Amino acid sequence: MQADVFSVVARVPMLIVRWKPGKIHVSQNGIKTWCGSLVPDTATRTVPTVDWHLHTNCYNCAYRLWPQHAPTGYLRPADGKDFPIPKACPHGQRARGCVRCTPRAAQNWPCPNGCTDPVDHDPLHRYTKCTVFPPRQPTEPDGRCIGRCESTEKVVHRANPGMHFDLADSAAMTCYHCGEAVCVECQTNPVDSVLMFCDTCP
């Protein structure tokens, strides 16, 4: 569960305060809002309520109320547009970004490697939990492969057919086994540095 979600909090009644069109603040004493504004005499004040989070749209008020007065099951607003204050899904995240609640957001789903839970394919991670990483081949004393070099991109895709990976650009330019630079084109022949072509590639 995310740190911004709290299951046990003090339910302290707050006043909902409004004196400008569109802006709704929270105050504990009716004199000053949680965002630091002084409440004018012309302001409208509600009766105290523990459900302040259902009414306010002031980001600074909500930000300062967290975590001491955070409502149970809700997420801290990310910015001034994140209102009404979003509810947390059963897994403590925003439902639209949770791969358990919205498995369509998961990459490589359904899984060709046999995973049964879409959370194992979290799109925020470069590799899935079921990614196969073959053993590395031995290297010479100078650090180069004894056999043929092969890029990380080639090795990972061959070991995981049908899977898509958001690999870094370096995965196509460095050897999976020895970590040294390989040709950008064939991804197998060693070269002196990255972004170089070998003699056999045009």
Count CB-CB contacts under 10 A for residue 115.
Answer: 17
Do 65 and 114 lie in a common domain?
A: no
Do 20 and 42 lie in a common domain?
A: yes
Do 119 and 136 lie in a common domain?
A: no
pLDDT at 147: 84
Asked if 20 contacts 35 with a C-beta cutoff of 8 angstroms, the reply is no
At which of 75, 94, 113 does a domain end?
94
Do 115 and 44 lie in a common domain?
A: no
Section 68-90 average pLDDT? 89
Do 6 and 61 lie in a common domain?
A: yes
Cα(181)–Cα(174) distance, integer angstroms: 4
Do 60 and 87 lie in a common domain?
A: yes
Do 106 and 163 lie in a common domain?
A: no
Do 81 and 136 lie in a common domain?
A: no
pLDDT at 18 over 90: yes
Q: Residue 64 belongs to what H/E stretch?
A: helix 59-65
What value does the mean pLDDT of the chain take? 86
Structural domain total, the chain: 3
Do 107 and 48 lie in a common domain?
A: no
**pLDDT > 90: percent of the chain:** 45
Q: Which of 14, 52, 19, 55 is nearest to 37 (CA)?
A: 19
Cα(154)–Cα(135) distance, integer angstroms: 14
Cα(137)–Cα(124) distance, integer angstroms: 30
Range of the domain at 22: 1-94
Section 153-170 average pLDDT? 90
Do 2 and 79 lie in a common domain?
A: yes
Do 6 and 78 lie in a common domain?
A: yes
Cα(182)–Cα(200) distance, integer angstroms: 12
Do 75 and 156 lie in a common domain?
A: no
Asked if 140 contacts 160 with a C-beta cutoff of 8 angstroms, the reply is no
Section 75-81 average pLDDT? 89
Which is more confidently placed, 58 or 120?
58
Query: Which residues, at least 6 apart from 104, have a Cβ–Cβ distance to it below 8 Å?
Result: none
Which is more confidently placed, 108 or 149?
149
0.95 exceeded by pTM: no
Cα(181)–Cα(29) distance, integer angstroms: 66
